[in-house]
Amino acid sequence: MSLIRLGIALATALCLSVPAHAQEPTKIRFTLDWKYQGLHAYIFWAKDKGYFAKEGLDVSIDQGTGSSATVTRIVSGTYDAGFGDMNAIIQLAGTKPGQQPVMVYMIYNTPPFALIVKKDSPIKTLKDLEGRKMGTPAGGAAGQLFPALAALNGIDASKVSTVNMAPNLQEQMLVKDDVDFSAIFTVTSYANLIGMKMDPLKDFRWFYYSDYGVDLYSNGIMVSKALVTEKPKAVAGLVRALNKAMIEVAADPAAGVKEMLKVEPLMDQNIETQRLVYALKTHFVSKETDANGLGDVSDARMEKAIKLLADTYKLPNTPAVKDVFDRSFLPPKAERALKLSF
């Protein structure tokens, strides 16, 4: 055999010896919590900049129907990971231990839950909610957590009727008086009301859950138990890619939202940039993230949040922090430090 033929034969043998899976990216089906918004910019930034691909991941991203619904979608096996509500994980762990997804990167360090009423509404205090109609999407976290708010503030939740509607109709139905108040995600309704040519602060009154004793965490990146067990390197890669993207988008929110236009060309770039900046300043970054870095939680605070939910919903099981949150996939703290410039 000639040297040339020998070389070709050896090269062919080497190529054939490489396992097929080493060349194929790990597919991850990812669900958002809501329709496309500017605050999802970091997720698409990670995809468009090739950060997922660099980690050997092929991530498909779909819109969601609510923060709590993300948990249901993952548990059903339809999705492997998503952006959704920690409190829904806790509730599932308290009723069906072992079935819940696990949060691996906390994003909403302060809860974006509130009730809003029109400025001229007769509802002046939380006690005035009794006998009224509350509007909320079926999978919306603020509506799901209303019983906790009620219990802490002496409200009889059974005297409040619930009207479910599509997420994009929530503000419109409140304005039209189809409901008396709405349980909302602050960052969603704030921007939506601006889009409706209304002033969120002058035309409405806000009851923030955090002002009434509901000191909970909220949305973050969660993954299925199967993904953690079977493909832990993929989970670590997913978190690394998203963390890198978050840091970069926070440095230039307008650029991050501009990337979103590739996904949703009809998106109002100005409004969505305002939404993202509001979320970063109000919910993503806090004194706690200054101390612990993005993505992590305080175990003591999480334990209190779990107890609050267990007591409110009379959960048969009280999960431990490790049952709902796993920090082992987080990058080093230095890589998760974020100081906003605005």
Q: What is the pLDDT of residue 138?
A: 87
Return the pLDDT at 18: 45
Which contiguous run of DSSP H or E holds residue 120? none
Each residue's pLDDT tens digit, 240-270: 999 999 999 999 999 999 999 999 999 999 9
pLDDT (mean) for 309-332: 97
DSSP three-state, residue 339 = coil
Instruction: Look at 87-101, 127-141, 317-331 and tell me which has the smallest mean pLDDT.
Output: 127-141
Q: Report the distance separating Cα 282 and Cα 260, nearest Å.
A: 21
For the chain, give every residue range classified as CATH 3.40.190.10.
25-108+217-336, 113-212
Mean pLDDT of 308-329: 96
Q: How far is residue 84's CA from residue 72's CA, in Å, rounded to a whole number?
A: 10
State residue 90's pLDDT score. Answer: 98
Which residues lie below 8 Å from residue 200, measured CB to CB, with a gap of 6+?
189, 190, 193, 194, 206
Fold that domain 25-108+217-336 belongs to in CATH: D-Maltodextrin-Binding Protein; domain 2 (3.40.190)
Residue 311, pLDDT above cutoff 70: yes
Which residue carries 């334990």 as its tokens?
Answer: 303
> Residue 144 has what pLDDT?
87
Res. 21: pLDDT tops 60? no
CATH fold for domain 113-212: D-Maltodextrin-Binding Protein; domain 2 (3.40.190)
pLDDT digits (tens, 9 = 90+) for 53-100: 999 999 999 999 988 999 999 999 999 999 999 999 999 999 999 999
Average pLDDT over residues 276-296: 96
